[in-house]
Structure 1
Amino acid sequence: MAQIVFDLDGTLIDSAPDIRQVANTVLEAEGKGPVSLAQAISFLGSGTHVLVQQMRDTVGIPDSEQDRILKAFHTLYEGAFDLTEPYSGVRSALDTLATQGHGLGICTNKPMRPCRAVLKHLKLDVVFPVVLGGDSLPERKPHPAPLLATFDALGTGQRIYVGDSEVDAETAERAGIPFLLFTQGYRKTAVEDLPHTATFDDFSALPDLIADTLAAAS
């Protein structure tokens, strides 16, 4: 059996509409914005500190306001899940993998409080015994430490990481972990330019892809 760790935003869930709404609510209070959905997606991947920094830069809010704007963003972020949905096939694929006996975890740069809140709202929390957020350790992805810590908490078994982005690809490469790239998420780089073991564009294909990855490693 495998230990399979997933990224969250852009991999399991399409959360960009909610993140954009939080960003625009914060910006409106500053007399700025709004940002488009495409801009909001471009901010994602490296945690809320970078997200807010890029959001500020886009609308011309100075660096001196970073901490205040970040606090305002976090205040709204925990409850931002009404527009968020799992990608098609996610629930079925996770149920299949859990039934097959694989260990499932999440390693995300999303802070733990909004991470736990959205998982509970979508009733995905029961599938994942191990979840590490962007504030769980001093390091964040693409540093390999959070990913390796998630695997260590899951236990022994072949390790496989599933994600959607440049950050995920770099994290897996630095950790030396096979990486399955979901191509319908928030990736900005061409698939062929990202290091990966295999790709998929539909979660219905994931259980078989996991089986193929295990067979290739045996």
Structure 2
Amino acid sequence: MVFDLDGTLIHSAPDIRCGVNEVMAMRGLPFFPMDEVIAMIGNGLPALCERVRVARGLAESEKERLFAEISIAYSAVNGIESEVYPGVADALNRLAARGHALGVCTNKPRGPALDVLTRFDLAEQMSVIVGGDDLSVKKPDPAPLAAAFDSLGGRGIFVGDSEIDALTATNLGVPFILFTEGYRKSPAEALKKAAAFSAFDDLPRLIETQCFG
């Protein structure tokens, strides 16, 4: 089983907002509220920074500098205000005890992804972590997810929270399970999925009782 990270295992938007707004303060620009930050999450940090640039009317020439500033600011606060979704640790332990090999495939860069997983004692449970800068492409391209599954020894189930995750699973041809409490922009009904859940306490039982081809 491979999991997305932001909005799936970890509610990371508070730290992303903090990093972005620190840069906004440095530049004398208005802060972003939480709902706007969540709406900008997806496709990796470069895409988020580009959405910030456009939203604040910054010139194209500021793109690289803004990315560098937000990357530094976010790295400094990564994991401070984030929270693991309730039941995640227990669910991962139960799945591992039942013989499931576990991994993460995220568009977050590898460094921050590993840092936050380590901070919350989740890194050791993951046999593989594929970050957004490990390959030349990101989700929804299927290559990162394929690399994660290949490291685990074969295809399996992908668990995520967003349209990007659903499309990635479709592009690779693997079952997708939707965590409904994350950062998606569309109604849950609009996403192609094998199953959905709203609490991680339910995930191990869902895996046992559903058939995923």
TM-score normalised according to structure 2 size: 0.97
Conserved in 2, the CA contact under 8 Å of 1:78 and 1:117? no
Conserved in 2, the CA contact under 8 Å of 1:48 and 1:111? yes
- Per-residue CA deviation, residues 76-117 of structure 1 (Å, 9 max, x unaligned), is 222321101110110110010011110000000000111011
Which whole-Å CA distance do the structure 2 matches of 1:32 and 1:216 have between them? 48
- Per-residue CA deviation, residues 158-211 of structure 1 (Å, 9 max, x unaligned), is 500000001001000111010000000001101111111100000001001112
Q: 2:135 aligns with which of 132, 137, 144?
A: 137
Structure 1 unaligned segments of length 5 or more: list them. none
Which whole-Å CA distance do the structure 2 matches of 1:161 and 1:194 have between them? 14
Which whole-Å CA distance do the structure 2 matches of 1:17 and 1:52 have between them? 16
Conserved in 1, the CA contact under 8 Å of 2:194 and 2:212? no
Q: 1:205 aligns with which of 202, 205, 212?
A: 202
SS class of match (2:99): coil
Partner of 2:5: 8
Which whole-Å CA distance do the structure 2 matches of 1:152 and 1:33 have between them? 44
What code does the residue aligned with 1:163 have? Answer: G
SS class of match (1:78): helix
Partner of 1:112: 110
What code does the residue aligned with 1:197 have? Answer: A
Report matched runs for 1:50-65 at 5 Å: 50-65=47-62
SS class of match (2:158): strand
Structure 2 unaligned segments of length 5 or more: list them. none
Give the superposition deviation at 1:33.
Answer: 2.0
Distance 1:176 1:46, change over 3 A: same
Question: Is 1:46 aligned to residue 43 of structure 2?
Answer: yes
CA RMSD of aligned residues (A): 1.0
Conserved in 1, the CA contact under 8 Å of 2:3 and 2:158? yes
SS class of match (1:53): helix
What code does the residue aligned with 1:33 have? Answer: P
Which whole-Å CA distance do the structure 1 matches of 2:24 and 2:7 have between them? 23
Conserved in 2, the CA contact under 8 Å of 1:164 and 1:187? yes
Which whole-Å CA distance do the structure 1 matches of 2:73 and 2:31 have between them? 16
Partner of 2:126: 128
Q: 2:87 aligns with which of 77, 81, 89?
A: 89
What code does the residue aligned with 2:153 have? Answer: G
Give the superposition deviation at 1:45.
Answer: 1.2
| Matched pairs, number | 212
SS class of match (2:157): strand
What code does the residue aligned with 2:157 have? Answer: I
